[in-house]
Amino acid sequence: MARFKNRWILVEFIPINKSTTQGNPGGGTAELGKPSNSGSLTLDGKKIWNSLRQSVASNFGDTGWGKVGLSLTVKYFSPMTNLCIIRVARDQHNIAWAALTLLSSIDGMAYIPNVIHVSGTIKHAQLAAIAHNRIVVARYRALSKMPVQTLVQNDGLETYLETSEKEINAMQD
């Protein structure tokens, strides 16, 4: 019996703060990539899956959704870093990737989907997700402008890195 061959897409959803883009004629890049402060507009795996389904259906029609729909699943999502791992069948991963690229908003909030890594195995997707989490946490620490010793003791990001690494490694195909 042949096994199912999948592709694992690691994507980061970068929030766009509309208040900075409206007031700044040069664009709102000052708030780009910062963690979102709005508690009511938090993402989860179900919202991402629904938006991705809508994007596939609107850009590729029912035929596109018929090809992608059975294999498309959101396997992991981190609300702190907006990092997501999506599993899709190998033959249809281009449709899912294109639908991700064409996605502009999720549940009314504007996001830029940044595809970080596409892998054929779950292990390489996990390793890329852990490495990217470390980069994002380092970026958050740099934005906070606190002394390094104070950050390591008080920010809780080390515990987040440990728990997210355990969650990512616990994923199975």
pLDDT digits (tens, 9 = 90+) for 146-167: 666 665 555 677 888 888 888 8
| pLDDT for the residue 18 | 66
Residue 52 falls within a domain, yes or no? yes
Residue 73 falls within a domain, yes or no? yes
Residue 3 CA, distance from chain mean position: 27
> Looking at residue 110, which CATH number applies to its domain?
3.30.70.3250
pLDDT in tens, 15-24: 998 654 455 4
pLDDT in tens, 37-68: 444 468 899 999 999 999 999 999 999 999 99
Residue 161 falls within a domain, yes or no? no
- As for how many domains the chain has, the answer is 1
| Res. 119 pLDDT band, cuts 50 70 90 | very high
| pLDDT for the residue 164 | 87
Domain assignment of residue 120, given as a range:
6-125
Indicate the helix (H) or strand (E) that contains 102.
helix 93-102
